[in-house]
Amino acid sequence: MSIDEIAGLMLYSAHQAISKVNPLARYSGQDEVDTRKNIWDLTEAQKKFLKDDNLRHVLIAMADNTPAAARWNNNAQSFVESIGLGIPVNNSSDPRHTPVATAEFDMGSGGDLSVWPDHLGLAATFDPALVQRFGEIASREYRAMGITTALSPQIDLATDPRWWRFSGTFGEGIQLSIDLARAYCDGFQTSGDERSLGEAASAPGWGYDSVNAMAKHWPGGGSGEGGRDAHFGYGKYAVYPGDAQETHLKPFTEGAFKLAGKTGSASAIMPYYTISWNYDTKNGENVGNSYNKYIITDLLRTKYGYDGVVCTDWGITPDSVAIDLFLSGKCWGVENLTVAERHYKILMAGVDQFGGNNDKGPVLEAYRRGVEEHGEDFMANRFRQSSRRLLRNIFRVGLFENPYLDAEESAKTAGSAEFVKQGREAQIKSVVLLKNKNHVLPLKTSEAGKPKVYIPKRHINAGFNFLGFPTPARDIVPLDLKTAADYITVVDSPAEADCAFCFIESPKGIGYTKEAGYVPVSLQYRPYTALSAREKNIAGTDNRSYRGKTGTVQNEPDLDMVLDTRNAMGDKPVIVFVRTANPFVAAEFETAADAVLLDFSVETRTLLELALGKAEPSALLPFQMPLDMETVEAQAEDLGRDMIPYTDSEGNTWDFAFGLGWKGPIKDDRVRKYR
């Protein structure tokens, strides 16, 4: 391969959409003027980066349906087949099996695939075999879409409950995260014998059902200072007040790097955006993880012997334009370097690939800088080292043998009846029953028929979405009423009802505002003033303390809705369903609820079937629920299970691995093993 071709191989595209409506236009750099006849046709921008920039790794963030994705794949593969060496396109996806697209790292979800809980919901099952089965099914559906790399699993230990990406993890249990990381990668990467590539594969176990797993985020992204997230400049630092750096490596070193299946190890790794503060004990550099040679070469490559692909997270080489914008470069610690200098530093750190970069120009400029500093032979060998790793992952999944799909066959595979059935079973197993006063659940059906249920609307305050775009205040019906009608009779007032269902979400706090600067990330619904926060931040030199400041959440009306419903219902039961992204302070509403259930992105029917006793809850908390915000403030960002957990009105403590069945607290082998 020429250096020019290798430079293109090192690129991983910005987010692409195979969609009639393209909300990613400003995000992905796709053409604002759409020249496509069909949604599966290549855009002019895609043709350019495939041909002119030799790009061969594409992130498919959105696709309207599987046949469209399959046809787009065929068009892309046909387009590149006659270019240069005919290297196929390796398409990838963020997680896409939950019911709705709610965040950047899950925006591909929905469509015609089977539906499963998110990572945190999979963790709540405490069942590695189920997680491996999910990987086996998801890989089949990915391959039907032409996707051969999963930008998952996210195996960061979620040791700070405030972290924005908590819901994408397997929780805060160390051994649980290790076991689920291993199961997830084995499920995605291993093909059955009948679909194996055999001698054509570079290693046993790989085949036409295999999908490369890109485990993330090395060396662990769950310890952001103050619980802030490094997608934003105000959250660029990870800290370790508990000296638990090595603990955060274990889901990688003991899970993703030690698979039970024949593929051996996760084929790719993604470092996180964060500056892991004072982590580098060799060179003393405080720069973003992909820029840090100690973290990538000395630790990952040398100490742990990892020789797979290392790909940066998306958008770390452009300039940062604002501290609070998602759509901004995330060049933490190297803001003073040029774009080309950042590419060079990343290559010298030991990274192979640049996430979110469609342009080979800065990579070639980095090559020229390397030649000036180290000579042609050194830099050519450095490029070939990465090209070997990158090509190996394309060979492993059989793309050189046959990258094409039959769109009709793809439609039969994705969302097949058996896959949908297993996804729904997993959803049932992921919902945690935390409270069941007087055994109010399951609901008793009467001779008159279905229970009569009052369901108040949710009010959503005006705010901003994750891209930073404003969203208006609005009232919403919090569930699918058509589906609900199969299970219950929805009535208009509390007076008509047998009980009430309140559907709310966990508090959505943010750690920075333009008006107040740094504020606490709150896990309670009412405004929270951080009187016990640190007087001075741990990382950096600027003052980011939020002591004495007040944090608010966008969905405070959720609390009002529960309390108002309690008053309106009198002695009749109030059941609270919480769509949960983070642990939260339940004390604000728990006594007003007769039953509390947590879900992690499941369908309406799942919650209703549990409430009516068509299945029994079996899930366990994969994290602690905090007593209050003071215990959240007191915990160390890098230590798991170090909070005082909440105890409810029934005397149950909502600690790690707690959950109820119909007869009371669950005390089975999972609890004994993982608690």
Taking the CA atoms of 128, 129, 134 and 140 in sequence, report the sign of the dihedral they define. positive
Catalytic residue among 313, 352, 359, 628: 313
- Number of Cβ atoms within 10 Å of the Cβ of 243: 10
| Residue 453 and residue 494 in contact, taking contact as beta carbons nearer than 8 Å | no
Q: Which residue has the tokens 């945190």?
A: 120
pLDDT tens, position by position, 380-420:
999 999 999 999 999 999 999 999 999 999 999 999 999 99
pLDDT at 103 over 60: no
* Predicted pLDDT of residue 194: 76
In order, the DSSP letters of 162-180 are T-TTGGGS--S-HHHHHHH
pTM of full prediction above 0.75: yes
Which tokens belong to 108? 């591909």
pLDDT at 110 over 60: no
pLDDT tens, position by position, 507-560:
999 899 999 999 999 999 999 999 999 999 999 988 999 999 999 999 999 999
Nearest in space to 586 (alpha carbons), one of 619, 622, 531, 629: 629
* Predicted pLDDT of residue 146: 97
* Predicted pLDDT of residue 27: 43
- Number of Cβ atoms within 10 Å of the Cβ of 533: 20
Q: Which helix (H) or strand (E) holds 73?
A: helix 66-81
Which tokens belong to 269? 């790794």
pLDDT tens, position by position, 490-506:
999 999 999 999 999 99
507 DSSP assignment: -
* Predicted pLDDT of residue 522: 98
Count of CA atoms in the C-beta half-sphere (13 A) of 574: 23
pLDDT tens, position by position, 591-612:
999 999 999 999 999 999 999 9
pLDDT tens, position by position, 150-206:
999 999 999 999 999 999 999 999 999 999 999 999 999 999 877 888 766 566 899
Average pLDDT value for residue range 215-220:
98
pLDDT at 309 over 80: yes
Average pLDDT value for residue range 270-296:
98
Percentage, residues of the chain above pLDDT 90: 88
Per the annotation, the verdict on 313 as an active-site residue is: yes
76-84 own/partner pairs: CB under 8 Å, 24+ apart: 76/42, 76/46, 76/50, 76/146, 77/403, 77/404, 78/404, 79/42, 79/47, 79/50, 79/51, 80/50, 80/51, 80/56, 83/50, 83/51, 83/54, 84/5, 84/54
In order, the DSSP letters of 79-124 are HHHTSTT-PPPEEEES---SSS--SGGGTT--TTS-----HHHHHH
296 DSSP assignment: I
Average pLDDT value for residue range 370-385:
98
| Residue 160 and residue 223 in contact, taking contact as beta carbons nearer than 8 Å | yes
- Number of Cβ atoms within 10 Å of the Cβ of 375: 11
* Predicted pLDDT of residue 19: 85
Average pLDDT value for residue range 431-451:
91
Average pLDDT value for residue range 438-457:
90
pLDDT grade for 147, boundaries at 50, 70 and 90: very high
pLDDT tens, position by position, 310-319:
999 999 999 9
pLDDT at 25 over 50: no
Beta carbons within 8 Å of 83's beta carbon, 6+ residues apart:
50, 51, 54
Angle between helices 66-81 and 44-51 (to 10 degrees): 40
Q: What is the mean pLDDT of the chain?
A: 94
3-state SS assignment for residue 365 = helix
Nearest in space to 196 (alpha carbons), one of 204, 186, 184: 204
Q: Which helix (H) or strand (E) holds 504?
A: strand 499-505
Percentage, residues of the chain above pLDDT 70: 95
Strand partners, 92: 59, 149
| Alpha-carbon Rg for the chain in angstroms | 25
Number of helices (H) and strands (E) in the chain: give both, helices first.
Answer: 19, 27
Strand partners, 505: 579
Average pLDDT value for residue range 46-73:
95
pLDDT tens, position by position, 349-360:
999 999 999 999
What's the longest Cα–Cα distance across the chain? 85
Which tokens belong to 549? 């400041």
Beta carbons within 8 Å of 193's beta carbon, 6+ residues apart:
none
Which tokens belong to 579? 């769509």
Taking the CA atoms of 128, 432, 482 and 612 in sequence, report the sign of the dihedral they define. positive
* Predicted pLDDT of residue 26: 41
* Predicted pLDDT of residue 245: 98
Q: How far apart are the first and last CA of the chain?
A: 52
- List Cα–Cα distances, 109 to 19, 102, 133, 510, in angstroms: 13, 8, 19, 24
447 DSSP assignment: T
